[in-house]
């Protein structure tokens, strides 16, 4: 009986040789790699060019404001512009009051408007709300101050409430648009599953949609707060400014960090200008904290509904 011929199998080729042969077989691979390197270089150069102005601002504000910044700057009120020392305590308290009141007015209303647009808005009212929200996003803040001045200042005077109202008008479209986009990202499967279990529409919104979109909602609110904390023009026409700490809600002009920075920067005296640089450094720190918190919240995993 003749034996069958034995065939020997060649050893498998290394993966590196297989991948290199595949790349060599593709005539367009080198061209794609060159384009990829070029685009990465262009994008990196664009990012560096965009970071240069921000870095220059941070360096200049830090260099000029560090000399006057300290614990006394946070705990003392501002002396006359000619005198050295002192701080922006009245501006820090006024900014805290007005931003807190503005947040309490704009964030709940903005989230409710976003819920209506995503869950119920299908007709002309939804289109009108979206249109005016987009318009208000691009309106200069000084127009908001003029609107509140013409509407309320002549009747109730300057104060914390009218300043907070102007800031809330600025914050509202930001909260509405950001919240609407976050609510749209909630999967429809979760809504359908909740409805299949017998939940009503409002129960699905409260217990499924809002908890799922909570990180995005918090991020949008934080960005709106950071925007309001840096506004100056509307407060010139509503809060007006003060030289001492004001705790009254309305009827007495209120101070703010941005107003003190504006007044100090326009003075010809060196101590007042130095305090303005320190106030700008403090304001940058506050905005940085709010932005960092928003980034941290947005980077977290989506909260699962209970």
pLDDT 10s digits, 116-141: 999 998 888 899 999 999 899 888 99
Question: Is 46 contained in some domain?
Answer: no
Chain-centroid distance, C-alpha 132: 20
- With respect to residue 10, please indicate whether it lies within any of the assigned structural domains: no
Residue 5 has pLDDT above 60, yes or no: no
Per-residue pLDDT of 247-299, as tens digits, reads: 999 989 999 999 999 999 998 999 999 999 999 999 999 988 888 888 887 77
The mean pLDDT value of the chain amounts to: 87
Residue 242 within a domain: yes
The answer to whether residue 232 sits within a structural domain is: yes
Range of the domain at 247: 71-299
Residue 148 lies in a domain: yes
Separation CA 281–CA 291 (nearest Å):
15
User: Does 23 or 208 have the greater pLDDT score?
Assistant: 208
How do residues 103-117 score in pLDDT, each as one tens digit? 999 999 999 999 999
Is the residue at 104 inside a domain?
yes
- Rounded Cα distance between 190 and 253, Å, is 49
184 located within any domain = yes
Total domains, the chain: 1
Residues 39-82: pLDDT tens digits? 999 999 999 999 999 899 999 999 999 988 889 999 999 998 88
| CATH number for position 97 | 1.10.3720.10
Nearest CA to 165 among 111, 216, 232, 235? 235
> Is residue 37 in a domain?
no
**Phi, psi for 123 (deg, rounded to 5):** -110, -155
Rounded CA-CA distance 166/155 in Å is 16
Calculate mean pLDDT across residues 163-190.
94
- Percent over 70 (pLDDT), the chain: 89
Q: How far is the C-alpha of 149 from the C-alpha of 167, rounded, in Å?
A: 13
Rounded to whole angstroms, how far apart are CA atoms 78 and 272? Answer: 9
Contact 261, 287 (CB under 8 A): no
Distance (Å, rounded) from C-alpha 179 to C-alpha 110? Answer: 8
């Amino acid at each position: 009986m003749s034996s069958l011929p034995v065939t020997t199998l060649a050893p498998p080729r290394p993966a590196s040789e297989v991948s290199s042969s595949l790349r060599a077989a593709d005539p367009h691979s080198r061209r794609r790699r060159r384009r990829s390197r070029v685009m990465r270089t262009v994008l990196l150069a664009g990012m560096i060019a965009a970071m240069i102005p921000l870095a220059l601002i941070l360096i200049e504000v830090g260099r000029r404001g560090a000399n006057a910044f300290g614990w006394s700057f946070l705990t003392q009120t501002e002396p006359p512009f000619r005198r050295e020392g002192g701080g922006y305590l009245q501006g820090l308290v006024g900014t805290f009051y007005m931003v807190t009141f503005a947040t309490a007015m704009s964030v709940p209303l903005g989230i409710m408007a976003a819920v209506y647009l995503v869950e119920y808005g299908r007709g002309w009212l939804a289109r009108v709300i979206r249109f005016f929200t987009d318009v208000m996003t691009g309106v200069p803040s000084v127009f908001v101050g003029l609107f509140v001045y013409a509407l309320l200042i002549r009747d109730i005077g300057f104060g914390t409430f009218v300043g907070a109202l102007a800031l809330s008008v600025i914050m509202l479209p930001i909260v509405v648009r950001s919240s609407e986009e976050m609510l749209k990202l909630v999967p429809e499967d979760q809504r359908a599953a909740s409805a299949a279990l017998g939940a009503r529409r409002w129960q699905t919104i409260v217990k499924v949609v809002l908890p799922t979109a909570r990180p995005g909602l918090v991020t949008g609110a934080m960005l709106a707060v950071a925007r309001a904390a840096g506004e100056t023009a509307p407060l010139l026409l509503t809060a007006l400014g003060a030289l001492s700490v004001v705790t009254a809600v309305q009827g007495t002009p209120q101070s703010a960090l941005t107003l003190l920075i504006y007044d100090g920067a326009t003075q010809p005296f060196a101590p007042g200008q130095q305090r303005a640089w320190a106030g700008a450094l403090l304001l940058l720190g506050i905005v940085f904290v709010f932005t960092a918190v928003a980034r941290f919240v947005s980077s977290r995993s989506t909260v699962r509904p209970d």
